[in-house]
A and B are shown apart, each in its own frame.
Chain A
């Protein structure tokens, strides 16, 4: 037996049980009493069952039973027959109205859920666009980065070819070949991380370790940081509570903050430091990115989160706005401030994942 329908049965049982109970009571009390009205509660219960046809079916059943009672047990005591009919009519009316209002409400809920779904999809699409844009910005650095292992591989291969022709080559040849293998691997990793970055974003929720997210983002930013002459360092709290969310999108948030920080320090003459920290407080996990750049301009820290607000010649003004939306969609908060010691501080917190989802 497939176990799948069991939750549906569990949801449907109270409604059907109530219908039966009301029918039994209705059969055994005088017709004058409005014993049919409690059928409306059965309809309300039936509305909670996910299957859309169930509530109308229960309402129909209730209607039929309400009328059937007249035929099965016509005991009406002293009540006049027209009053009995009005009584039954009122019960039918309440059942009908309950069903009508319930279905209306359900439709509104479905519409709201669809809208939320659409918003989530939009966010994922926008996040993807932002990743593509970032990848474009990184392209120069990336080409340079792939070029390094290629240069090493080319030289080592030529040296290896010459060593192979020598009678006494010692361990040098093996060292060359090992280096070639390692550098090929490195070039492959770079290509892989680019592909991961530009892959269309499907929102996948899972348990996410933010320290891993930070390290992954830091790896991608490494090249750009080198180009900009920025030193990226991190201090990660271990162990750090996990969060619940989309790894790719969260990595993008950290990446955006890092890219922003690296680009901010690139133009400065002084120290070019970018520092990432993860900490945990109460039931949130906090990620902070500090830089020693010029800080957030006279427009105020909050303006950086406005869509299409940018101070960079190649900027699109979407990265930080998308980041804030992603963090908020994860139930967290992202904010920016100027560091009194100079530079800017971006920080976000996400609720720690308390549920034990391991199985």
Chain B
């Protein structure tokens, strides 16, 4: 289902794009270059893994503007900014908007590679966390309201007996529901269960 990561380059200077593409080829990674922020936005697929090498100064939409736009759209692709003449203000703004780093042209190949690897690792981690979260949320959504009542109480640390008393059920019925929901949540212990719930970001009860 997942394809390998791609290095996206947005730089109005084709020569710089080609140089970054050479570096990407050295890493054995595909590189897609765009001459403008608008071109990138038109082709951008948030589901595709990768990282973005982004030039600050460009005609039309600047690198910082594109970064802001991606943040607004909820696209969380890691960004390595590059700039010909970065001042502190630009650097701070880029980092505030979530850039991993800002490389000043001309930069060394090693620097670029280190940051590309870091960016791709960050992307992989973000995507893994997101998929865990999605899976947990899906499992949580599969529970019936009654199972959910029991789950909330388990997460709070209540015993079967407490839950039975609280919900006016027999201990046996609570045990049944507990077994069913443990299975649905794919949890082997209460600790597992709590971990899955916290992965969804929803409060336990």
Write the residues of chain A forming the contact surface with B, with a CB cutoff of 8 angstroms. 140, 143-144, 147-156, 158-159, 162-163, 172, 175-176, 179, 182-183, 186, 225-227, 229-231
Contacts and interface: CB of A to CB of B under 8 A. Distances in A.
B190 interface: no
B84 A155 contact: no
Given A144-B57, A144-B85, A231-B59, A156 B19 contact: yes
B59 A155 contact: no
Top-6 shortest CB links A-B: A158-B109, A151-B105, A155-B19, A151-B106, A152-B15, A152-B19
B84 A147 contact: yes
Interface in B104-131: 105-110, 112
Contacts of A186: 15
B84 A229 contact: no
B97 interface: no
A163 B26 contact: yes
Contact of A183 (B12, B15, B20): B15
Contacts of B18: 152, 156, 179
Contacts of A182: 15
Contact of B59 (A147, A176, A230): A230
A148 B22 contact: no
Contacts of A149: 15
Contacts of B84: 144, 147-148, 151
B48 interface: no
B22 A143 contact: no
Most B CB within 10 A of own CB, among A143, A159, A172: A159
Interface in B54-113: 57-60, 62, 84-85, 105-110, 112
Contacts of B112: 155
Contacts of B38: none
Given A147-B84, A155-B22, A229-B60, A179 B109 contact: no
A233 to B, nearest CB: 12
B106 A172 contact: no
Contacts of B13: 148, 152
B148 to A, nearest CB: 52
A231 B58 CA distance: 11
B16 interface: yes
Given A149-B15, A179-B15, A186-B15, A159 B26 contact: yes
B25 interface: yes
A176 B112 CA distance: 17
Contacts of B106: 147, 150-151, 153-155
Given A162-B109, A229-B60, 6 more contacts: A147-B84, A151-B16, A155-B20, A156-B18, A159-B22, A182-B15
B23 interface: yes
Nearest to A225: B59
B59 A156 contact: no
Given A144-B85, A152-B16, A158 B108 contact: yes
Given A143-B85, A155-B20, A148 B15 contact: yes
Contacts of A144: 57, 84-85
Contacts of B108: 154, 158
A212 B71 CA distance: 45
Contacts of A163: 26
A155 B23 contact: yes
Contacts of B57: 144, 226-227
A151 B105 CA distance: 6
A176 B18 CA distance: 9
A230 B57 CA distance: 12
A226 B59 contact: yes
